[in-house]
């Protein structure tokens, strides 16, 4: 029986429990007749790059061959998973068996993907730093060159389970090899990568990649779905921390925390270190009609049967009068084909009402083109 490998999405914390139940987003054991993947999978896998050389299924496994150049992807249900996603993290897991060694620097052969050329959580294969006859796996958040190698020699013709975590809100990814649970040895990439709207999982063929046989791909919602024996041993892991906030008296303010781990996950918010906020057991803490007496720090304690963790202490500053606007989240770069619709979103804080104006400039200059997209009628907001 083939080992199960899965791409996972941790559930959004709502109330005391994580209400999102296990759900299969994508599943493929590559149990097709031998042939070109895009043909034998009845359209489940699609070509997004290459020269027509094909990506092949052989003996019930996907053959990712560095001598060929076609790259294929399959859709994840429920996407896109971007900076505003309601899920704390994506987990990609799959089994590999290398039958031909890569070059020293190697190349990436698996990754998450948006609708264009935004590739995230790139998994590399190469021999750099490995003993003779062995190879290693590497990782990058978004770079086309490896950022960090997993510190373990791997052997050809041996099957390994690879797990990758990607946080949509930050673009940061983490890699495990044969993990027991989420606390097992891992490496985290540090190269810069902005969040993008993840909608697909992809495999890539490129020179230097050797030959990697891939098996059993599944999309689910918990780490325990990937490694069933880890159930009960996956403590909570915070993916989104509450942020410091300034607010005027009388207004409403909110703090948010997001976390993964074995379900059910519980939350309790605290004020000034050890005073529990009554009824505050959701991942979002909302404070209404704020007064100066409510200024101070707020943090969440998050726990499940496997452990407990604390969020950072977020500072609430309550001021009299109006607070000038500040940008909290910058709009992200978007790559699109001609005629395609695109969307830009900016996050801002300050005393309401906030007005928004959008400008278009010539790339590489500060020259404004097309005039000012004004909000004089109040019909333009943080999303354009």
Q: How much is the pLDDT for 65?
A: 98
Task: Over range 80-109, report the average pLDDT.
Answer: 92
What phi and psi, each to the nearest 5 degrees, are found at residue 63?
Answer: -100, 110
Task: Over range 364-368, report the average pLDDT.
Answer: 61
**Each residue of 312-341: pLDDT tens digit?**
999 999 998 777 788 887 887 777 767 777
pLDDT band at residue 20 under the 50/70/90 scheme: very low
3-class DSSP state of 306: coil
Q: Sign (positive/negative) of CA torsion 2, 69, 89, 159?
A: positive
Report the Cα 228 to chain-centroid distance in Å. Answer: 22
Residue 8 has pLDDT above 60, yes or no: no
Nearest CA among 103, 144, 150, 94 for reference residue 122? 144
Q: How much is the pLDDT for 35?
A: 98
Residue 87 has pLDDT above 90, yes or no: no
Provide the percentage of residues in the chain whose pLDDT is more than 90.
65
CATH topology of domain 237-319: Immunoglobulin-like (2.60.40)
24-225 sits in which CATH class?
mainly beta
User: What distance in Å separates the CA atoms of residue 195 and residue 225, rounded to the nearest whole number?
Assistant: 25
248 has which bridge partners?
Answer: 319
Locate the domains of the chain by residue range.
Answer: 24-225, 237-319, 326-383
User: What distance in Å separates the CA atoms of residue 317 and residue 218, rounded to the nearest whole number?
Assistant: 45
Q: How much is the pLDDT for 307?
A: 97
pLDDT band at residue 377 under the 50/70/90 scheme: very low
Beta strands, E only, 127-263: 136-140, 148-149, 160-167, 172-177, 187-188, 200-203, 211-215, 217-220, 237-240, 245-248, 253-256, 258-260
């Amino acid at each position: 029986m083939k080992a199960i490998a899965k791409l996972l999405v941790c559930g959004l914390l709502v109330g005391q429990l994580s209400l999102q139940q296990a759900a299969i987003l994508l599943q493929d054991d590559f149990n097709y007749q031998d042939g070109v993947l895009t043909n034998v999978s009845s359209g489940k896998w699609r070509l997004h790059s290459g020269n027509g050389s094909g990506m092949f299924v052989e003996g019930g496994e996907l053959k990712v061959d560095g001598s060929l150049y076609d790259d294929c992807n399959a859709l994840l249900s429920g996407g896109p998973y971007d900076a505003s996603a309601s899920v704390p993290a994506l987990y990609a897991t799959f089994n590999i068996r290398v039958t031909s060694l890569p070059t020293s620097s190697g190349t990436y052969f698996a990754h998450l993907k948006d609708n264009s050329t935004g590739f995230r959580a790139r998994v590399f294969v190469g021999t750099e730093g490995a003993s003779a006859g062995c190879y290693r796996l590497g990782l990058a958040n978004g770079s086309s060159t490896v950022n960090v190698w997993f510190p373990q020699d791997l052997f050809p013709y041996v099957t390994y389970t690879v797990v990758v975590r990607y946080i949509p809100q930050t673009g940061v990814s983490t890699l495990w090899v044969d993990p027991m649970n989420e606390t097992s040895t891992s490496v985290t990439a540090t190269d810069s990568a902005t969040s993008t709207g993840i909608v697909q999982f992809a495999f890539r063929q490129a020179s230097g990649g050797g030959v990697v046989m891939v098996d059993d791909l599944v999309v689910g919602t918990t780490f325990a779905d990937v490694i069933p024996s880890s159930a009960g041993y996956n403590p909570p892991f915070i993916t989104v921390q509450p942020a410091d906030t300034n607010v005027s008296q009388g207004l409403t303010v909110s703090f948010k925390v997001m976390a993964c781990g074995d379900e059910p996950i519980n939350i309790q918010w605290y004020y000034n270190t050890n005073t529990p906020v009554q009824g505050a057991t959701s991942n979002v803490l909302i404070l209404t009609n704020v007064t100066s007496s409510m200024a101070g720090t707020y943090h969440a304690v998050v726990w499940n049967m496997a452990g407990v963790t604390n969020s950072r202490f977020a500072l609430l500053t309550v001021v009299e009068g109006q607070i000038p606007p500040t940008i909290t989240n910058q709009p992200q770069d978007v790559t699109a084909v001609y005629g395609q619709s695109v969307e830009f979103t900016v996050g801002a804080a300050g005393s309401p009402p906030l007005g928004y104006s959008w400008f278009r400039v010539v790339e590489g200059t500060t020259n404004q083109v097309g005039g000012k997209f004004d909000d004089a009628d109040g019909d333009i907001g943080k999303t354009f």
